Structure 1
Amino acid sequence: MSNSDHQRCWAIVCAAGSGRRMEMDIPKQYLPLKNSTVLEESLSCFLHHPQIAGVVVALHADDHRWPSLKISTDPRVQNVVGGDTRARSVVNALERVRSLAEQEDFVLVHDAARPCLGYEDLDRLITEGLGGEDGVILASPVHDTVKQVRTSDGGQEVERTLDRSLLWKALTPQMFRVGVLHKALQFCIENDREVTDDASAVEAIGQPVRMIRGRSDNIKVTRPEDIQLAESILLQVSKSSQS
């Protein structure tokens, strides 16, 4: 399809984590946030965007909380069982998307633990993605001094200081052609290449990935104290939209 008006966008939300990193009984995506949960807030932005044809949520095989969420009955939202790695979870969700989409449609992959995605960032990403063939991601510049370290007998030693003007933090969602992302993830899985985001997989098959600047408050909830920060960000966004 060459006409972006006929190209559809689908979203995949990775929610198959078990919460081990936070050392909590409840997975981080189900932690209370505002009057809902982290996962519901992460899904909300996609469900409010007219360009999104549907959302597929990748869940842990033992997830018993999802059916209790009101959003689980939304006809635009489907779910699949995730895999033992993030890449396999995305592939499982992509298989569902491929049954609904064309190869030239687009898919946006988002972390369930990023509840503070702004509508403006999502809209700009979709507009930018529909305008070209490349993948496109949101990213924010690194402002801290970053050290590369090596492990020695005495612990960890600083090897060198990296040029932070060249460093950006990859955010989500990340947007690609359905067929391109499926090919990239299958390549990485078959070749035992570990990837921490979908752009890494697309880079691995030599496909270009463009970047647009996203808001730095599109945080990922990885520690218990991040919930308070997310609450504060969402409260500020709510106040701004009402003013």
Structure 2
Amino acid sequence: MAVPSVTPDWAFEREHWRRGYFRVAGVDEAGRGAWAGPVTVAAVILPGTAQDLPFRDSKQLGAAQRERLAAEVRRVALSYAVEHAWPDEIEQLNILGATHAAALRALARLDPAPQALVTDYLKLRVNLPLSAPPRADALSYSVAAASLLAKTERDQLMEALDLQHPGYGFAGHKGYGAPAHRAALRDLGVSPVHRRSFAPIRALLTAQEPLLMQGADQQ
């Protein structure tokens, strides 16, 4: 049975408004569980008008809807920024650390600066009032807006990576562990944009290592 969609509102933002923090940034990420490409984090400050907005969790929408609503986010936002953490940073910091680092970079670029944050369960270490409920991308307008920017910008990057690294199907599965991605990895091996610390990629590299050593011995 399909899970019913949830309509966001201003409940989390309103808690901050009541305390005098009117520039509330929503923060969300895309691509955290992918095997390849960056994790992308967006931060968005919307005008605190408490009016209904069309923004929804990007996972509830089709690609054309996401693109249309992302353009609307950019049009109405007081401030927004998108940052990426690429596989080398993910290897260095781990996926959670890299996500936090990208989020902090995005927040640092907001102008005007935020006075409080709502994130999708991302418990950032910041000197700001922070709400980090689960499923905030479905519950908060600000986080839904951030999810739209993060998802659409990352999808565009994965389409570009598909041209740079043909055969993996990045434009289709966006770097996640789809059957076609698994098959491409078996046929082509690991690309420079794969996350080598992730278990499926690490397992493939471990399996290939004896073959690589055998080839080196025969040269």
Quick check: TM above 0.5? no
TM, length-normalised to structure 2 = 0.28
**Highest relative contact order (Cα 8 Å, sep 6+), 1 or 2?**
2
Compare CA radii of gyration and give the structure with the larger one. 2
TM, length-normalised to structure 1 = 0.26
